[in-house]
Structure 1
Amino acid sequence: MSPLFLSAFFLECIFLICQELKLDPAVGYHATELVQRFMVKHLSDLLVTPETSAAAASEPRNLEDSIFDQLKEKFPLILFSCVQLANKMSLNHHMIDTGTAVSFLHLLGLSVSKKTILESELMVFKGLEFRLIYPNPLTSVETLLEVLGHNDPSVPVKRLYHLCRHVLQFITLQKAAIYDSLLKVTTQRASPSKEQREKFVTVTEDCMLLGVGVIAVAVFILYIRKWEQVTSSHTHTLHLMK
């Protein structure tokens, strides 16, 4: 199945929600994984509903309108539910209770009840087939930096980590465009085939590979003389993890 990339606007919304609620940054990245995986499943389910099937039998435009109508009102709550679920799976103890969630969503212009919030979380949980543990790109960056610091104590890992977080957020917000360009360069085709896009999914979902790229960018910015050494070391580490 081809990957679904959220627009930068929705990704930024997730990061801002985490920032406002003072959640661990890793929660935001975990939430984006949950949203994207849930939406792939949810959109697939919507395509076989009676309303959508009737629209598809009419005109393609009607199909788009039908799906949009079914999503537009509940999508903001889906985003928030994914943040909630990701936060519950994190190791920190800063949990957001339903009362706080209701108040926060009210500030965003969403009037929902505690029951609605819980029902939305359950819908997402079921849509993900009760699987909430997925690779997290920020965790991958942290793991790779820890290995780097162990192998080369001269590298100021803390300073690199600070920059890596900014680089990772930028890449995440521009992920669709970046991976699309990478796919075209790799296949040497302006319009890659469906089969090529499906094979490329393994690349888009490889958090360790993304982590290596993020650190490589950060090292290039801060310590260009060490860039080749660090990328070579991480390439070796990546091979060992495969």
Structure 2
Amino acid sequence: MSVKRVQMASKFKADAEMKMGFGEVSFEILSDFLTVLNTQNKSNLQNLSGFCGNFKVKRVVEHVFCICEELELDPLVGYHAIEILDRFMVKHIENLFSVQRNASSEGDSYRAKENHEHRILQRLGENFPVFLFSCVQIASKLASYSSALDNRSVSGLLHSLGISCPKQKLLKSELLILKTLDFQLSVPNPLLYVETLLEVLGHNDPSIRVPQLHRVCRCVLQFIFLQREKIYQSLLEAATGSHSPSSEQRAKFASVTEDCMLLGVGVIAVSAFFSHRAAWKEVAKELALITGISVRSIINFAQMTLAHIT
């Protein structure tokens, strides 16, 4: 790692050390915050795009995780960046094709429309690395503005990957993302759900070693994100009883794939299986009481994930 990157990483590391530890937040604040997360989650599930999740594929997730690891960014930044990127790309593509449809006349040939769509997709492919880095940059600012990635740093990182990107282009990319999302950046962060649920779980049952469970949870959540397509495909097939679910069934299942509360309890249940195997189902029951998600749903999610791990 270069000297510049080491210096940047140390800034983020120092900032992370200022975070409060488990058990240091009052239960009243925890309870209120969990209520806010639950409301946010439900609102998000009620306003899903039919194309949500299309940019949470393994290759994209790997790139974001590698960037955050290289710069020693808080993992929260990575998950937030992935959520921002997915929402932005879906809406941006919808906007581009909407403009194209409005601009096309009835006399345009099929070939002309096809060529125009090809140019749009080609341009998106060329700009995608910049969009990805911009989303990481935005997420880093939301995590800690005093030590966030600046345009010079991001431009240097892109240059090291063989991508020429002046600072002005980065600024335009960031503004495009912000405007496309109407500056609505408070998107569900899966790791935040996991950590909040862990806090509440530790308060309800002090015998649970939350710091140890937290370390395992981070690994499990990362695994699920990297194997997201396979795990949720297995869950979909189990729910529908079909190896070839219909388009309608897939569309309805989006409320499962985008449910951060379900993901949070599932991650903790899987982690408890590894850390407290004798009592992992008791942990699932406690999580059901906290969230209102059925024990069966939590265990099904955990068992399907475990099947992919083992």
Please tell me whether the aligned partners of residues 5 and 176 of structure 1 are also in contact (alpha carbons under 8 angstroms). no
Structure 1 spans left out of the alignment, 5+ residues? none
Q: Which residue of 1 is the match for residue 168 of structure 2?
A: 115
Amino acid at match of 2:64: I
Q: Pick one of 133, 136, 139 that aligns with 1:80.
A: 133
* C-alpha distance in structure 2 between counterparts of 1:229 and 1:62, whole Å: 58
Q: Pick one of 133, 136, 144 that aligns with 2:189.
A: 136
Amino acid at match of 1:48: S
Within the alignment, does 1:46 sit opposite 2:99 as a pair?
Answer: no
Amino acid at match of 1:4: G
Bigger-Rg structure (1/2)? 2
Does the C-alpha gap of structure 1 residues 99 and 195 become closer, same or farther in structure 2, counting only changes over 3 Å?
Answer: same
**Deviations, residues 90-137 of structure 1 (Å, cap 9, x unaligned):** 147421122222212211212111111110001111121211001111
- The TM-score, its normalising length taken from structure 2, stands at 0.71
Question: How many angstroms does 1:166 deviate by?
Answer: 0.7
**Deviations, residues 191-216 of structure 1 (Å, cap 9, x unaligned):** 32333222222212211110110111
Within the alignment, does 1:5 sit opposite 2:44 as a pair?
Answer: no
Q: Which residue of 1 is the match for residue 11 of structure 2?
A: none
- The TM-score, its normalising length taken from structure 1, stands at 0.90
Please tell me whether the aligned partners of residues 236 and 253 of structure 2 are also in contact (alpha carbons under 8 angstroms). yes
Q: Pick one of 216, 229, 253 that aligns with 1:163.
A: 216
Please tell me whether the aligned partners of residues 56 and 63 of structure 1 are also in contact (alpha carbons under 8 angstroms). no
- Equivalent residues in 2 for 1:165-180, closer than 5 Å: 165-180=218-233
Question: How many angstroms does 1:144 deviate by?
Answer: 0.9
Please tell me whether the aligned partners of residues 8 and 174 of structure 1 are also in contact (alpha carbons under 8 angstroms). yes
Within the alignment, does 1:183 sit opposite 2:232 as a pair?
Answer: no
Question: How many angstroms does 1:237 deviate by?
Answer: 0.9
Please tell me whether the aligned partners of residues 27 and 86 of structure 1 are also in contact (alpha carbons under 8 angstroms). yes
Q: Which residue of 1 is the match for residue 207 of structure 2?
A: 154
Question: How many angstroms does 1:138 deviate by?
Answer: 0.4
Percent of aligned pairs with the same amino acid: 47
Count residues with an aligned counterpart: 240
* C-alpha distance in structure 1 between counterparts of 2:97 and 2:256, whole Å: 27
Within the alignment, does 1:200 sit opposite 2:253 as a pair?
Answer: yes
Please tell me whether the aligned partners of residues 24 and 92 of structure 1 are also in contact (alpha carbons under 8 angstroms). no
Q: Which residue of 2 is the match for residue 22 of structure 1?
A: 72
* C-alpha distance in structure 1 between counterparts of 2:279 and 2:100, whole Å: 59
**Deviations, residues 214-235 of structure 1 (Å, cap 9, x unaligned):** 1111111121111111000001
* C-alpha distance in structure 2 between counterparts of 1:165 and 1:134, whole Å: 19
Amino acid at match of 1:42: H
**Deviations, residues 135-173 of structure 1 (Å, cap 9, x unaligned):** 111001101111111111111111111111111001011
Q: Pick one of 89, 99, 123 that aligns with 2:152.
A: 99
* Secondary structure class of the residue paired with 1:200: helix
* Secondary structure class of the residue paired with 1:72: helix
**Deviations, residues 63-111 of structure 1 (Å, cap 9, x unaligned):** 8744431212100000011111111111474211222222122112121
* C-alpha distance in structure 1 between counterparts of 2:122 and 2:183, whole Å: 26
- Equivalent residues in 2 for 1:228-239, closer than 5 Å: 228-239=281-292
* C-alpha distance in structure 2 between counterparts of 1:62 and 1:95, whole Å: 40
Q: Which residue of 1 is the match for residue 262 of structure 2?
A: 209
* C-alpha distance in structure 2 between counterparts of 1:66 and 1:113, whole Å: 23
Does the C-alpha gap of structure 1 residues 130 and 176 become closer, same or farther in structure 2, counting only changes over 3 Å?
Answer: same
Please tell me whether the aligned partners of residues 137 and 210 of structure 1 are also in contact (alpha carbons under 8 angstroms). yes
